[in-house]
Structure 1
Amino acid sequence: MNFKTIILLILVVLITIFFMHNTAPVEFWFFGSHHISLSWIIAITLFIGIITGGILLRPRKRKTEVIQINEEASSEMDGFSNSKSSLSDEDRDYIS
């Protein structure tokens, strides 16, 4: 077993013990009075917190930038691409 599996197993056992000891019914008001087990209230609250945190902390999509090249820069770029044609046959063979 690796380290993460052991930590996860210990965490699951602790959470299970916590829920097993908090089974007393409590009065809970949410648009009316309800008698619910305390462990259910804690589990639902935990689930809502995880979902909310996942939504708020998810990575944002990056905006892509559009680069416009003017004619002067385009002609300079053509000069760079033409420099490859000035290679000798020996150099081309070495690169390939």
Structure 2
Amino acid sequence: MRLPIGSTDVSASGGSVELIGRRGDGWQRIAAHGMPLAEAVAVLGEAEQGPAHDDPAFEAAVLSAGDDVPRFAPGQEILWRYGRHIEAVRVVRDDDEG
């Protein structure tokens, strides 16, 4: 079952998240350049997949784990990265810690 746009939930880190879009809806390119399929498959086959995120455009995506994960303003739209998956989310704060 798909959640309706606007649904809210609690994230793994204890913050609140709101569903603001779906995969395939209004795609925006986040990589600066394309990559041949064979090269992409080889990169994703590596254990850490680090090279898959070397594109400077991925600097706009925030890692979902780590000691230096920043806090965000209410309503701010961000790209939240879990490994090689990136979700577009809008920040919802319901406490002082976000």
Regarding TM over 0.5, the answer is no
Instruction: Identify the structure with bigger relative contact order (alpha carbons < 8 Å, sequence gap 6+).
Output: 2
More strand by share: 2
Give the TM-score taking structure 1 as reference length.
0.20
**Higher share in helix:** 1
TM-score, structure 2 as length reference: 0.19
- Which structure's CA Rg is the greater one? 1
